[in-house]
């Protein structure tokens, strides 16, 4: 059902049109001249205006011009018994969607109305989707003006002016991909592609195809030629996320690309030349991986041209107020809701927490607070404080006492394993409670398994 405004100075025509459209289920308002129509447009939003061309006081074209000032997105259809090519061209120039020539039958009118309304619906839908895509692709800022983050931002600004390979390291959830995009935006490649590959999510064979592409028939299921990420990112930037998870055989091929900007698709002997700036990230100790023989030393040095270390959130607590305001603003804009404030005591509670999931955990907690806070005006400390207790703290604090003075890595491990136990080994629930990704949780468990510090129950 649509809301339609009909404008015609002839009573019989106006009433007949209204009756026809009402039978089709539309809500109809009728006006006998342009001035009345403009008044109605000011009072109410309409999905469509159907107006006669020749009317006293104000013509249909004059009404069209004024109506567009009030409702610029509303489609307008003109009715005329004196249609000419010149009339049609003039109507389209002034913003009419279409026109229909009198006399016309009911079916002709209904089809035109349906087509016009569908066009308007698709236009609104397209605008909405474009806004969503732009929002998704918009560069996310590195939030925080503390001393540590200002040093990171200065490093990003400097490296952005070069084409050097960058290695960004830091715990999971600290914003390594955000920093990678910031480097791309700061470079002369900003108008070229920025692509990312999660090296931990794919097997060796799939990752090789993802990076370098493959020829038709290169392996079972390769039914067509596929361009890899290096080709697709030509002229731009390629982010290799969690670079430490690349298998040794693939590390040699990656080293060649970094040294020579050349590679072959899987199943091909033709060398491809590309110009790609590589940024790699890792949350693991790559020097230790080199020492253990799990990561090529020459590849490490080739990646580590410009190192950037992202700090854990617990090491930059002064940035938490800015991060909280940033997340609250994003949520309000996304949900088209009023901006929620947070009381100072709640911020102080957040600043005292150890944040094993880092910025990602904080973001998840703020969204949870916006949803579950019962006070419509402000997010309170008593709302969020229960979510920040360490495992064992609810039993008199013994868990915290036992962990006091322990290395942070051991504390993180205790938190993760205790939460995993609480959810009976359910990894999705555990990751959600900790504010980290399921993949990140799986990687940590895999690491502990390798050294015999974890066993499935």
The tens digit of pLDDT for each residue in 268-297 reads: 889 999 999 999 999 888 999 999 899 999
Look at residue 398 and tell me whether its pLDDT is greater than 50.
Answer: no
Q: Tell the CATH topology of 392-457.
A: Arc Repressor Mutant, subunit A (1.10.10)
Tokens standing for residue 348 = 């102080």
413 vs 128, residue with greater confidence: 413
In this prediction, residue 131 carries a pLDDT of 54
The candidate with the shortest Cα–Cα distance to 150, out of 22, 284, 14, 322, is 322
pTM equals 0.58
In this prediction, residue 335 carries a pLDDT of 87
**Level-2 CATH architecture, domain 316-388:** Orthogonal Bundle (1.10)
Mean predicted confidence (pLDDT) in 70-99 = 81
CATH class, range 3-135 = alpha beta
The CA distances from residue 358 to 1, 146, 354, 362, in Å, are 49, 16, 8, 7
- Looking at beta carbons, which pairs linking 379-386 to residues 24 or more positions away fall under 8 Å? 379/340, 379/341, 379/342, 379/343, 379/346, 380/343, 380/345, 380/346, 381/343, 381/345, 381/346, 381/348, 381/349, 383/346, 384/346, 384/349, 384/350, 385/349
In this prediction, residue 363 carries a pLDDT of 92
Tokens standing for residue 253 = 């091929």
Q: Which CATH number fits domain 147-311: 3.40.50.300, 3.40.50.450, 3.40.50.1000, 1.10.260.40?
A: 3.40.50.300
The tens digit of pLDDT for each residue in 10-64 reads: 888 899 999 999 998 999 999 999 999 999 999 889 999 999 988 888 988 899 9
Measured in degrees and rounded to the nearest 5, phi and psi for residue 55 equal: -140, 150
The tens digit of pLDDT for each residue in 337-372 reads: 888 899 999 999 999 998 988 999 999 999 999 998
In this prediction, residue 452 carries a pLDDT of 66
Domain ranges, ordered by start, for the chain: 3-135, 147-311, 316-388, 392-457
Same CATH topology for 3-135 and 147-311?
A: yes
In this prediction, residue 202 carries a pLDDT of 85
In this prediction, residue 441 carries a pLDDT of 85
């Amino acid at each position: 059902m649509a809301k339609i405004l009909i404008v015609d100075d002839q009573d019989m025509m106006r009433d007949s049109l209204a009756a026809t459209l009402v039978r089709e289920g539309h809500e109809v308002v009728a006006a006998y001249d342009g001035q009345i129509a403009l008044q109605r447009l000011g009072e109410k939003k309409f999905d469509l205006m159907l107006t006669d061309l020749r009317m006293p006081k104000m013509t249909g074209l004059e009404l069209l011009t004024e109506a567009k000032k009030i409702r610029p997105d509303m489609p307008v259809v003109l009715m005329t018994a004196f249609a000419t090519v010149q009339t049609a061209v003039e109507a389209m120039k002034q913003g009419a969607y279409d026109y229909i020539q009198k006399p016309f039958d009911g079916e002709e009118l209904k089809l035109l109305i349906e087509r016009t309304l569908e066009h308007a619906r698709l236009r609104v839908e397209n605008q909405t989707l474009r806004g969503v895509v732009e929002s998704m692709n918009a560069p996310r800022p590195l939030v925080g003006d503390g001393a540590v983050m200002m040093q990171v931002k200065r490093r990003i600004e400097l490296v952005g002016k070069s084409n050097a390979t960058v290695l960004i390291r830091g715990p999971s959830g600290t914003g390594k991909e955000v920093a990678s995009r910031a480097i791309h935006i700061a470079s002369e490649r900003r108008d070229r592609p920025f692509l990312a590959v999660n090296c931990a999510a794919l097997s060796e064979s799939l990752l090789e195809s993802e990076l370098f592409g493959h020829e038709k028939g290169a392996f079972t299921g390769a039914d067509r030629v596929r361009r890899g990420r290096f080709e697709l990112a030509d002229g731009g930037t390629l982010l290799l996320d969690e670079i430490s998870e690349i298998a040794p055989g693939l590390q040699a091929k990656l080293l060649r690309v970094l040294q020579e900007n050349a590679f072959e698709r899987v199943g091909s002997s033709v060398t491809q030349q590309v110009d790609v700036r590589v940024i790699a990230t890792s949350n693991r100790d790559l020097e230790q991986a080199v020492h253990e023989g799990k990561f090529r030393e020459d590849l490490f040095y080739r990646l580590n041209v410009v190192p950037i270390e992202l700090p854990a959130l617990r090491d930059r607590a002064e940035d938490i107020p800015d991060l909280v305001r940033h997340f609250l603003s994003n949520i309000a804009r996304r949900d088209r809701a009023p901006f929620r404030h947070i009381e100072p005591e709640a911020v102080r509670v957040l600043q005292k927490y150890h944040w094993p999931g880092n910025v990602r955990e904080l973001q998840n907690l703020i969204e949870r607070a916006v949803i579950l806070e019962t006070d419509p005006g402000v997010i309170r400390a008593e709302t969020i404080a229960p979510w920040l207790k360490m495992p064992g703290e609810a039993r008199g604090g013994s868990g915290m006492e036992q962990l006091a003075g322990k290395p942070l890595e051991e504390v993180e491990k205790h938190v993760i394993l205790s939460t995993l136990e609480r959810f009976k080994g359910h990894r999705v629930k555990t990751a959600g409670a900790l504010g980290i990704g399921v993949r990140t949780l799986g990687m940590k468990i895999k690491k502990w398994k390798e050294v015999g510090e974890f066993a499935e129950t």
